[in-house]
Amino acid sequence: MKAIPRQQLIDALQWRYATKLFDPKRRISSEDWATLEQALILTPSSVGLQPWKFLVVEDPELRAKLQPASWGQPQIVEASHLVVFATRSHFNETDLDNHIRRSAEVRGTSPDTLAPLREMALNAIVNGMDDAQRKAWAFNQTYIALGNLLTSAALLGIDACPMEGIVREKYDSILNLQEHGLTTAMVATLGYRANNDKYASLPKVRFSHEEVITHL
């Protein structure tokens, strides 16, 4: 793999911002969107367990139903794409075994060879945490996927907005997530910024290097 220039990465991160107003007439190409979906799939996770599901909400009527559960924010209906990040409500031994089977399939080995990995994950996560801790663990894992999507989009010149300003229980109900053992964590809208989004030209505010980076 050939690394991108260092300044290209910094420029992309400087360019991106939480886009508040999207141009509803501009759509992400199918090729670019397929790349972003693959980036989501490639997101790392603890022990590789991937306790998530990414829902790409394309139905305009469904997105209109979700807008009131998002405090009326226009991004929900105006952005090219809407992704709901959902987590496994009760990550359990069956979920773990699904991962072990998939790992064996991809790597061309027997599930038995992965017994040490299974035992470690079983003791540390499935049996080593109570229900609330497992939910928090799965929820936190999903933020890795969100960050990966934001950076990937920026490198493709695509705008995005991470959103926690939603009523998760209403999302769960509208999308029938309970039936699938899932619960909403957060959402992201993606597309292209509108020309009149005042936030696009504002300087990015971050604490200084000295305040946030410590070398030990």
Span 176-189, pLDDT tens digits: 999 999 999 999 99
pLDDT band, residue 84 (cuts 50/70/90):
very high
pLDDT value at residue 134: 96
Separation of CA 120 from chain center: 26
**Reported pTM:** 0.96
Mean per-residue pLDDT for 84-110?
Answer: 97
pLDDT band, residue 96 (cuts 50/70/90):
very high
Q: Are 191 and 80 in contact (CB under 8 A)?
A: yes
State the DSSP H helix or E strand holding residue 83, giving kind and residue range, or none if neither: strand 81-88
pLDDT value at residue 38: 98
